[in-house]
Amino acid sequence: MKNFEIPDFYRSPIISKVKAKRKLEDPRKKDFSPSVLDFGTVRFFIARHFGFCYGVENAIEISYKAIAENPEKRIFLLSQMIHNPDVNEDLMSHGIRFIQDTDGSQLISWEELDSDDIVIIPAFGTTVEIENILREIGVNVSKYNTTCPFVEKVWNRSERLGKDDHTVIIHGKRNHEETRATFSRSLQNAPTIILKDIQEAEILGEFILGKRKISDFPAVFEGKYSHNFQPERDLIKIGVVNQTTMLAHETEEISDYLRGIMVQKFGDEAIKNHLADTRDTLCYATNDNQTATLGLLEKEADLAIVIGGYNSSNTTHLVELLEKKFKTFFITSANEIHSEKEINSFDIHAEKIVGLTDFLPSNRPISIILTSGASCPDSIVDGVIQRILDLVKPSLSAEKALHNFLR
């Protein structure tokens, strides 16, 4: 695995050492049990895998390279580099400006750009339409393209499916940058439809089996299918790909469900002619982080903390997994922790930040589950640990606790 050059302030004195030890002991990633850092009065169960993945580190390295190589030029990002406010704010502090927000709304008019400008394509990738706009302006769209290789893998798989006359079904969130980019590319070669979850897959299955009227299809899936999509024609031969930050087991559930539907309609012997095996499009990093989170669920703890951007899809899914068992707090950084009792936490269901007064329990020792999203720097996780230690007053110093873990 490549070692990326990213600014030192993204790294950390505690988490970096924890990760290094686990990597040395388990290079083949067979052990998904959490790391345990025990400070006496507080103990952290830290996920085996979390934080920056290959695609994120690649994007950050390229972005800072663009800054270093073009001191006299204007530098733009199509939208947020990754879904982490600290990373994006640091890039903006270097003069980078955003052309669009995460929903694709224009912040800077295309007419303001010229061929001398530098435009960085974010890790999520972008649509064919936007690439064409940039080319017409004269912008080099490949020099600072930070699209994650695993996102490109999904695009390539979609292209192969289309050329083999499959309809592409994307498991993803319609308005997410990555799904918009995948949809844009997939429809170049194939009829394409986006499904958010198993419930929408079940509805699609009813259309495939004729249990719903085809005339209802446009209203049910409005804005989620390609132009001239014809269900009777386009739902005979299908393949499922995903937004790489979705829950892997949900993508597999959708694939398995649709396989059953196609077997019902065409028979088990003919299934290979109607459904492609696309499990190879699942992102290894997302899968590792989610599996490590399942490892956290095997522990007993007082609470869980998930750190990351509130608009981060992969981070939100970690919250979904943990809140099934633990009282879970979703924060962007240590700045959200105001006292032992007071914390600002993002409610993923109400989609808003909520001020809470039931943060740390009064009993000691406290056991805390800790993880972060793929776009969260380790230094921010360190900051959360340190903030809690400041509040709890540990009976063991950070140096001693880390020494005990590393020995």
Catalytic, out of 57, 131, 178, 200: 178
Strands 238-242 and 328-331: unpaired
Taking a C-beta distance cutoff of 8 angstroms, is the pair 173, 149 a contact? no
Number of residues that this document lists for the chain? 407
Sign of the CA dihedral running 47, 334, 329, 200 = negative
- Location of structure tokens 């309609």: 265
Cα angle 330, 178, 321; round to 5: 30
Q: Is 178 one of the annotated active-site residues of the chain?
A: yes
Q: Measure the CA–CA gap between 401 and 407, rounded to whole angstroms.
A: 10
316-337 CB burial, b ≥16 within 10 A, e <16:
bbbbbbbbeebbbbbbbbbebb
The structure tokens 């406010």 sit at 85
Q: Where are the alpha helices (DSSP H) in 99-195?
A: 128-137, 149-163, 177-186
Task: Just list the catalytic residues.
Answer: 178
